[in-house]
Amino acid sequence: MKRDVHPSKDITGSDGKELAGKKIVLCITGSVAAYRAVDLARLLMRHGADVHAVMSEATAATLLHPEMMKWATGNSVVTKLSGDLEHIALADYGMSDLIIVYPCTANTMGKVAAGIDDTPVTSVLSVALGSKIPIIVAPAMHEAMYENRFIQQNVKRLQEHGVLFVGPNMEEGKAKAAEPEEVLASAINVFRGPLAGKRVLVTAGSTVEYIDPIRVITNTSSGKMGIAIAREAEMMGAQVSLVYGHGTENPDVANTARVDTSEQMRSAVASELKKKCDIVIMAAAVADYAPASRSSKKIDTRSGRLELSLVATKKIVDEVKKTGVFLVAFKADYGVSNEALIEKAHAKLKESGADLVIANDIGRDGSRAGSDRNEVFIVDKKKNVVHVPLDNKAAVARKILEIVAQRA
């Protein structure tokens, strides 16, 4: 009698159902810790996952035979790409639920951070980054190599694009791959995201107000903080809508509405609110004033003088207050003390009816407008304050969202 299921899959779900129905791609790179992928594959399966292994030809030839991974997973192993387009079949939109790189070499991290895909593993990761499949990376290398500042820059760059890291264990001068149990816990958390089932609306970037067809009033916002929040919210399981004005970043969020002026942003937010949002995070730097009138033609500058009459723009937060959603507002200032910044955040809370206000000083070294880093103070209605020290914006976004998830 022929079996329909590979015998190795008999263990599936034997220790738990947390990953039941989840297709996980396990990418194995050229580290001496490659043999540990066998244990991880079996552990993921014991918690319900269907595991598919991907290896480079070099790894399969020198470190871990692909037949071992076929035994471990009960599935064919990809060691080279063919006309079957294995990287697309595994990592295109909706084709898998999670990609794990275990162990991951510095070489692979550098290639992925640079957009290079010259092995089955890097090709799978290149596609997965585009299709927004969650990615977990567990590095393994010599400790001195891991501390190399260029490698650390690659780690941060990947984190900023939503890649999750399970850090190595520093032992005997080595950055040893995390234990399989640590990676399992991280994988389970991906599917138990603290914002799972929540609809989150995020605004980001600046708006512009036209003086004439080619001249505008605007500000220096890059949109990086709002985009980081939107990306991290997706990684935490939320269904995210992003309303994005002007900025230096590609939003890279599936449901993004691009806008130009503050009125367009207000209209887009109002439209999204009709979809019953749970959480609204207003990270955009909306222009406070607009010209009272706009010239339909380019204004001649030969007169040497132009006087503008400005009027206040409509407060988008007023649209949000009516809905009763959990509201997170932002308060940016320039060159003030921590005490003054927190006091202004309290005033913003009362004015906006927000549940939380995120306050930051864009005049400080390291967190100026357009920077990749930020330092914020999170203030609530009870005057509790959480200080998030200077860090990359992805890490700051995660901290903000962790607090939001606890309270929303």
Give the confidence band of 1 by pLDDT, cuts at 50, 70, 90: low
Q: Give me the percent of the chain exceeding a pLDDT of 90.
A: 73
**Residue closest to 255 by CA, chosen among 279, 238, 278, 236:** 238
Among 62-76, 267-281, 313-327, the minimum mean pLDDT is found in: 313-327
Closest C-alpha to 319, from 357, 262, 360: 262
Q: Are 69 and 28 in contact (CB under 8 A)?
A: yes
For residue 190, which phi and psi values (nearest 5 degrees)?
A: -60, -40
* CB burial string 198-234: b at 16+ within 10 A, e below: bbbbbbbbbbbbbbeeeebbbbebbbbbbbbbbbbbb
**DSSP secondary structure letters along 200-257:** EEEEESB--EESSSS-EE-----SHHHHHHHHHHHHTT-EEEEEE-B-SS----SSEE
* Beta bridge partner(s), residue 280: 201, 327
Question: Measured between alpha carbons, how far is 4 from 69 in angstroms, rounded to an integer?
Answer: 19
Sign of the C-alpha dihedral computed for residues 43, 46, 48 and 49 taken in this order? positive
Give the separation between CA 224 and CA 232, rounded to whole angstroms: 12
Residue 84: partners with Cβ closer than 8 Å, 6 or more residues away: none
Torsion sign over Cα 281, 284, 289, 293: negative
Q: Which residues contact 226 (CB under 8 A, 6 or more apart)?
A: 202, 203, 204, 205, 242, 244, 281, 283, 284
Dump the DSSP string for 26-57. Answer: EEE-SSGGGGHHHHHHHHHHHTT-EEEEEE-H
What CA–CA distance (Å, rounded) separates 144 from 170? 10
pTM score of the predicted model? 0.64
Cis peptide leading into 103, omega within 30 of 0? yes
Residue 101's pLDDT band (cuts 50, 70, 90): very high
Give the chain's count of helices (H) and strands (E). 14, 20
Q: Which amino acid is at 355?
A: D
Task: Give strand pairing partners of 139.
Answer: 104
Answer with the residue of higher pLDDT: 209 or 304.
Answer: 209
146 or 302, greater pLDDT: 146
Mean of per-residue pLDDT scores for the chain: 92
pLDDT for the residue 70:
97
Using CA atoms, how far residue 322 sits from 239, 346, 408, in Å, is 22, 20, 17
Q: Tell me what pLDDT residue 156 has.
A: 85
Q: How large a percentage of the chain has pLDDT more than 70?
A: 99
In this prediction, residue 318 carries a pLDDT of 82
In this prediction, residue 2 carries a pLDDT of: 64
- Residues 251/349/388/402 CA torsion (nearest 10 deg): -70
Give the separation between CA 45 and CA 109, rounded to whole angstroms.
Answer: 26
Identify the pLDDT of residue 269: 95
- 362 and 390 Cβ atoms separated by less than 8 Å: no
Q: How far apart are CA 165 and CA 156, in angstroms?
A: 10
* Domains and their CATH numbers in the chain: 8-191 (3.40.50.1950), 199-297+306-407 (3.40.50.10300)
Collapse the DSSP code of 308 into the 3-class scheme (helix H, G, I; strand E, B; otherwise coil) and give the result. Answer: coil
